[in-house]
Structures are given as structure tokens and as C-alpha cells.
Amino acid sequence: MNQGKRSETRNILLFFVIAYAWTWLLWLPSVLSPTGYSDPLLFIMFLGGAYGPFIGSFSLTFLEEGKEGVKNLGRRFWNLKIAKLWLLISFVLFPLLYCAGFIIAFLIEGTTPVLVWLSDPSILLYVVAISFFGGGFAEEFGWRGYALDRLQAKWNALISSLILGMIWAFWHFPVWYIAGDSHQSSPFFLFVLTIVFLSILYTWVYNNAGGSILVAVVLHTTYNIMTKLGLLSPMGGVIYIILFFGLTLVVIPAFGYKKLTRQPSINNPIHRP
């Protein structure tokens, strides 16, 4: 392995160390608290902890590429000169899957989702803000904008997605020990499986959008919003998961596991050494 490849491998590993260390350190007080992050200070620390991938991405990009590299990283979020179809997909993919799960469940058993925000619209604003600032924006500069690019320089898109999906999933592990956190409603192994499938879908949209961090942030945000705003019936939830997993399994052969895109070449950072 030459010096450049060793340096790139070291930086990828260092990114994951920074992401985990920052996040788990700030989440630790909530883990130790018997009431979770119900205290305002602990809640602020919990939200700040979500920025581990963000901190890792920008700090290492600055060390590797200087101010210009940081500017380029930011441009990949603000730049709207991307394939509009994939930006649209990032907005509607999970809402459509959710609605399909609701409709099919309704036709089968007549159940409807519990839309908790209808009685108080302020809940909608809160969920959108938390899903964006504490989810998509906090994480995607790191997971997709930094780590995925470098993983895809070493492995194909599918393998890179599987590796990143596992690391991304286990990054969330402490929340299973925070009192009252909603993640505890599902088994951790099911969460890991879901995140791995999510990772593949995110790579698919991200690569086809030319490495746009914006579409990754939107995709992440809309997924979080749908899981928080409306609670499907057990039947609806199962159908939603089946549709989501099924779409992923269709995408892989349809777009090819090597790049998860039909484009012969894409002008994005995955081709960097």
C-alpha cells in the first residue's frame, strides 16, 4: 500500500473515531440520567452530540484540503445545479412509501395512522426542525459527504454502503440506553438491518445526484419526519418495511451494484484518490 492510500485509510478511520467520540461523549450524560434528556441542558447536549459526523467531516477536510476544501464541501450542500429529478425523489420517496403502507393497510384491515400533529400544528414545526438540524444536516456532511466518497474510492457502491450502514447504525447504539428515547420501541437488530438498507438507498440517490449533500440531507430529514409524524398501525408498519426493503432489492440489480447508477461516469467526489 503506497503512502497516499495509507493516508486515505487513516483519515477514514480517524473520521469514524471523531464521529463516535464526539457523539458518545455528549450523549453519555443522558445515558447516565434516570430521566434521559428531559433536562433542557441534557437535551441541548444530546442534539449537539448528533454533530459528530459533521465535526469529523469539516475538521478532516480542512486538514486535508484547507479552506478551499471546506468551501467545496459547503457548495455540495448549497449548489442547486443538480439533477432535479433526484432532488424531487429525495423529497417524496419516503412520504410515498409511507402513504402506500397506509393505503394498503387501510384496504386490508381498515386502520388509519395516528397523526399526532393534527391536534397541535406546532408539533409539525418541532418535528421538521429536529429532523433537519438534529438529523440530516448534523449527519450527512459526514456519512455521505465525507465517508461514502472515500469508501467508494476503495470499494464498489454496494460494499461501501454496507460498511457505512453498519458503522452508521452502531453509532446510534447509546440511545437504546437513554430513558424514554423512541428508538427503544424497536429491537436493535431490526434497527441495524433498516439502517443498512437505508444506506444503500441513500447511496443510490446520492450517486445519481452527482454527490449532492443536499439530496442526502433531504432524504435523511424526510425519513425522520415520516417516522415521527405519523404512527402506522402494526400492519401498516410491516407493509412500509416490506415496500422499503423491496425497493432497495430492486434498485441494486436495476442500477448495478458497482455504482448504483446507470450513468457511465459521474462528476462527483467518489473518483478522488
- So what's the pLDDT on residue 2? 59
For cell 441541548, what's the residue? 44
pLDDT tens digits for range 8-19: 889 999 999 999
CA 204 to mean position of chain CA atoms: 13
Three-state SS at 172: coil
CB 224 within 8 A of CB 99: no
Helices (H), 209-265: 213-229, 234-255
10 Å CB burial of residue 33 (0-12, 13-18, 19+) is middle
pTM for this structure? 0.91
What is the torsion angle, in degrees rounded to the nearest 10, for the CA atoms of residue 190, residue 192, residue 194 and residue 198? 180
Torsion angles phi and psi, residue 2, rounded to 5: -75, 175
Mean pLDDT in residue range 156-180 = 97
Q: Which long-range contacts (CB under 8 A, 24 or more apart) does 76-85 make?
A: 76/145, 76/211, 76/212, 76/213, 76/214, 76/269, 77/141, 77/145, 77/212, 77/213, 77/214, 77/217, 78/214, 79/212, 79/214, 80/214, 82/209, 82/210, 82/212, 82/214, 82/215, 83/208, 83/209, 83/210
CB 92 within 8 A of CB 99: no
> By percentage, how much of the chain surpasses pLDDT 90?
72
Cα atoms in the Cβ-side hemisphere of radius 13 Å centred on 71 = 3
- Average pLDDT taken over every residue of the chain: 90
Mean pLDDT in residue range 191-213 = 96
Tell me: pLDDT of 269 over 70.
Answer: no
Three-state SS at 187: coil
Nearby residues of 250 by Cβ (< 8 Å), 6 or more positions away: none
Where exactly are the structural domains of the chain? 82-271
Instruction: Give the amino acid at 26.
Output: L
Three-state SS at 114: strand
Tell me: pLDDT of 161 over 50.
Answer: yes
**How, if at all, do strands 230-231 and 114-115 pair?**
antiparallel
Q: How confident is the model at residue 272 (pLDDT cuts 50, 70, 90)?
A: very low
pLDDT tens digits for range 67-118: 999 999 999 999 888 888 999 999 999 999 998 988 998 898 887 777 767 7
Three-state SS at 33: coil
Q: How confident is the model at residue 231 (pLDDT cuts 50, 70, 90)?
A: low
